[in-house]
Amino acid sequence: MTLDRRLREVTFTVTYERGVDPIADVLHEQPALQASRISVTLGSSSSVQLIRFTGPPAAVDRLQTALEECTFRPQLIGDGPCQATSTAYLLECTPRRRLWYVYADEIDDCPSIDTAVAAASGPGTISECNAHAGRERWRVLLRSDECVGDLFDLVDGTCCPGIDVELEHIGEATTWHGDAVVDSNLTGTQQQAIAEAAARGYYERPREITVGELAAELDVPESTLSYRLRMAESRLVKRYLERHAELEGPGPG
């Protein structure tokens, strides 16, 4: 038996005007915030999600409050109520970063993109959303192109005034890396070191903390922390360059 391992990918953008959605409004008002989400549909009415957002502490706190007030239900793009239920678990919490696991049920009752993805493509579909300043970029992995039309029609037909959707690309999913939320290339100590450094302003300009001060706060030797940061930064840079080379393709012979 020959297995077809080629998945298809559709990308589209969704733009929210101010005042249309409370989550989008926070992102409008806090341009330093970055939010990303990976979702997997479990059927026509449920999904699991990993939601990450990063930024200045006050902005991160504000977005978390907005999500909690919406009880982590699917973000609405159309008129009408949403009776979905959800359970959220906080996996990571630093001043500048949050990572949530969310299980959402009865989403078929909501006028949302999650509902459209579940209805059009069925269980096991993976989607990724990156949001910034009131604009979302969606990527959806599909087993075939057959449901692309249904998916886009459902999203476009559901959007209420003030929300615009634009189809961007349909093709093979050749550059999907699946680590927008979880980075598996760093060791646990390296992930912790770089996360704590970012949370305490080590990568701000000007820096808000030195390696020595950070090491003292974390109660580790300065040389150990410095080594972990260098290794983490080296791996991230190498991975970025590798991906850039993949996207550019081979040079002229």
d(CA 55, CA 218): 21
pLDDT at 98: 92
pLDDT at 5: 62
The pTM of the whole model exceeds 0.75: no
* Residue 28 placed within a domain: yes
Query: Which residues in the chain come in under a pLDDT of 50?
Result: 1-3, 179-184, 247, 253
Q: Does 139 lie in the same domain as 92?
A: yes
Q: Does 54 lie in the same domain as 106?
A: yes
**Residue 209 DSSP one-character state:** S
Q: Which two tokens stand for residue 230?
A: 């260098």
pLDDT at 180: 47
pLDDT at 243: 58
Contacting residues for 11 by C-beta, under 8 A, at least 6 apart: 137, 138, 139, 140, 168, 169
Q: Does 208 lie in the same domain as 160?
A: no
Q: Does 130 lie in the same domain as 33?
A: yes
pLDDT at 182: 45
Whether the ω angle into residue 74 lies within 30 degrees of 0, i.e. cis, is no
d(CA 198, CA 209): 10
* Residue 100 placed within a domain: yes
Q: Does 48 lie in the same domain as 167?
A: yes
Could you write out the DSSP letters of every residue in 105-131?
E-GGGS-BHHHHHHHHH-TT-EEEEEE
Q: Does 129 lie in the same domain as 42?
A: yes
* Residue 183 placed within a domain: no
Q: Does 196 lie in the same domain as 144?
A: no
pLDDT at 242: 64
Q: Does 145 lie in the same domain as 213?
A: no
d(CA 121, CA 156): 16
Q: Does 235 lie in the same domain as 142?
A: no
Tally of domains in the chain: 2
Which residue stretches of 164-210 are H helix? 188-199
d(CA 182, CA 93): 14
Q: Which domain holds residue 121?
A: 8-172
Per-residue CA distances from 23 to 39, 197, 202 (Å):
17, 27, 28
d(CA 101, CA 93): 12
Q: Does 205 lie in the same domain as 161?
A: no
Q: Does 156 lie in the same domain as 68?
A: yes
Residue found by looking up tokens 């087993």 in the block: 143
Q: Does 103 lie in the same domain as 204?
A: no
Instruction: Label residues 98-117 b or e (16+ Cβ within 10 Å = b).
Output: bbbebebbebbbbbbbbbbb
